[in-house]
Amino acid sequence: MLGLFVHIIDIALVLVLIYLMLVVIGERRNLWMIRGLIVLMLAAVLSHVLRLSLLGFVLTNLSFGAAVAMALMLQAEIRRFLELLGRGELMQLFSSSRTPTSRPDGVIDELVDAVRELSQKRTGALMILELGPPIDENDFSVPGVRLNADLSKELIQTIFQTSTLLHDGAILIRASRVVSAGVILPISERIASRQLGTRHRAAMGITERIDNCLCIVVSEETGSISIAQRGRLNRPLTSNRLRELLQEQFTPAVESDTVAPELLNLGRRLTGFWKWTRQLVRR
């Protein structure tokens, strides 16, 4: 009886760990990698229960290798998890990390029009858009100059003109206002293509640290448009595609709410797997 209780506690702790991983990662495309790792782990456990020593050895080492590969691919998410753990703010993982900020279509139109004209003129630009709670400016290398002005196409184009003092930094956009300009962002330490300039690496760097934001980048050399989110670049983009992505981001989403049902389904499958394994061993 005690052994069964220990196994139940073991499974519950694994479920909690999986839940935290799903909350940190958040993206459904990465959820399939987690599922694949779980399948490998379950297969390794089953092989050991059935005393298939060679198969168990292979699956155990394969699971270990897959875990290491995932740790390399998801280093930004794991870094966030460890930072929250070190700060004692682990409960933030259970709060909604994607609370989209409502934004009128007119603001998106102004933003897209400004980006399109900057792209056509090959004027470099970097913009940070908040997706939820306000960003702590301590995460910036330099907070920049406070503006707190209404967002407009003309204002954005003026800031990024090479003749202005603030054109080298980023602008921080909160809802329909430009909060600050000349913001200096931390540079990503990831190995990236040589075609990426400082603006792209800065966009990757801040989105690696902060989940509730995305960055729009306009290349000064090519005029190409990019979006950075969670440390990854989506490029090159057309202005129409940029508009679609922004509308998706600022439309209330329920993607984060699917984590709990996924966890419940996983729990049911693990419970069924455990019962089936016990019956198989008894036979």
The dihedral of CA 100, 150, 240, 205: what is its sign? negative
Q: For the whole model, what pTM was predicted?
A: 0.58
CA distance 281 to 283: 5
- Strand order, beta sheet including 213-218: 145-150, 177-183, 170-174, 125-130, 213-218, 225-229, 232-237
219: pLDDT confidence band, cut at 50, 70 and 90?
Answer: very high
What DSSP line would sit under 67-106, residue for residue?
Answer: HHHHHHHTHHHHHHHHHHHHHT-GGGGGS-S--PPP--HH
- The CA distance from 129 to 219, in Å, is 17
- Give residues with Cβ within 8 angstroms of 6, minimum separation 6: none
Digit-coded pLDDT (tens) for 136-157: 878 888 988 999 999 999 999 9
Burial group, residue 275, by CB count within 10 angstroms (0-12, 13-18, 19+): exposed
Mean pLDDT, residues 171-183: 92
How does the average pLDDT of the chain come out, rounded?
78
Cα 39 from Cα 273, distance rounded (Å): 11
The CA angle 238-177-187, to the nearest 5 degrees, is 60
Q: How far is CA 10 from the centre of its chain?
A: 29
Q: What is the pLDDT of residues 91-133, one digit of tens each?
A: 655 554 444 444 556 889 999 999 999 999 999 999 999 987 7
Residue 111 one-letter amino acid: L
Q: How many residues does the chain have?
A: 283
User: What residues pair up with 171 in beta bridges, in sequence order?
Assistant: 127
270 or 58, which is more confident: 58
Segment holding 5, helix H or strand E: helix 2-25
Backbone torsions φ then ψ of 125, nearest 5 degrees:
-155, 150
Q: Which residue has the tokens 């100059």?
A: 145
